[in-house]
Amino acid sequence: MKKNIWVLVLMIVAGVASSCGVGRQVADAKAFGDCKYDIASVDSVYLAGIDIREFRNIRSFSDFDLARYPGLAMGLLRKNVPLDLRVNIDITNPTKKRAAINQLEYKVLLSNNEIFNGFLSQLIEVLPGTSPTRVPVRLNTNAYQLLSNDKTRDEFVNMILALTGKADAKPTKFQVKIRPTLDVAGKQVNYPGYITFEKEVTSKMLTR
């Protein structure tokens, strides 16, 4: 129902535009909403410029040796701890139609706490009957709040432990919310609601 309303709104907004071009965008975006999504892998994960694999022997936040990692100590002092990583998303198109969008809004949550958000502005095309299309998304944020907040600190450390392969790491999950947006007649029109998928964080996700 929401998709039908969205299509109607698009047509009204784009009344002065080419109906053929608008119809194609709508059809492509609708098929994109029908695609299947999976987090294939995570790589290039750095906390305050340090490869997280350096932290494979920690068990809790108190185990971080700030004397050994002055960059992390300085980040905590300045309340600016950069967290950078790349998430590789596989998109499969089970329909018989071309799926494509030009801009994508995303949010990434760790155990219901939003840690990343932003926009990916590039053509993403997923053809039917083909192998998954891999879309790398570079993510960065200030992790200070995650580390200083009692409610998020343990989950964040558990994520690091899970990615580094710690056997007793508690299960944590990435939840990804994406929403295609279209530029129609100079106006941005959002897909109705977010496409949501999740994946448990494990060391198998970390490729390098």
In this predicted structure, what is the pLDDT of residue 13?
47
**More confident position, 189 or 84:** 84
Q: Cβ(147)–Cβ(156) under 8 Å?
A: yes
Per-residue pLDDT band at 107 (split at 50, 70, 90): very high
Mean of pLDDT over the chain: 83
**What's the predicted TM-score (pTM) here?**
0.81
List strands edge to edge, sheet with 82-92.
Answer: 50-51, 36-47, 82-92, 133-142
Q: Is the pLDDT of residue 152 over 70?
A: yes
Per-residue pLDDT band at 53 (split at 50, 70, 90): confident
Rg (CA), the chain: 20
d(CA 13, CA 20): 14
Q: Cβ(105)–Cβ(179) under 8 Å?
A: yes
pLDDT tens-place string over residues 173-202:
889 999 888 766 667 777 778 899 998 888
* 10-19, 45-54, 63-72, 88-97: segment of lowest average pLDDT: 10-19
Per-residue pLDDT band at 156 (split at 50, 70, 90): confident
Q: Which amino acid is at 61?
A: F
Residue 183 has which token pair? Answer: 């530029």
Return the domain boundaries, the chain.
1-201
d(CA 127, CA 105): 21
Q: Is the pLDDT of residue 37 over 90?
A: yes
In this predicted structure, what is the pLDDT of residue 132?
93
Q: Cβ(87)–Cβ(115) under 8 Å?
A: no
pLDDT tens-place string over residues 1-29:
555 545 555 554 444 444 555 677 778 88
Burial per residue of 42-68, b for 16 or more beta-carbon CB atoms within 10 angstroms, e otherwise: bebbebbebebeebeebeeeeebeeee
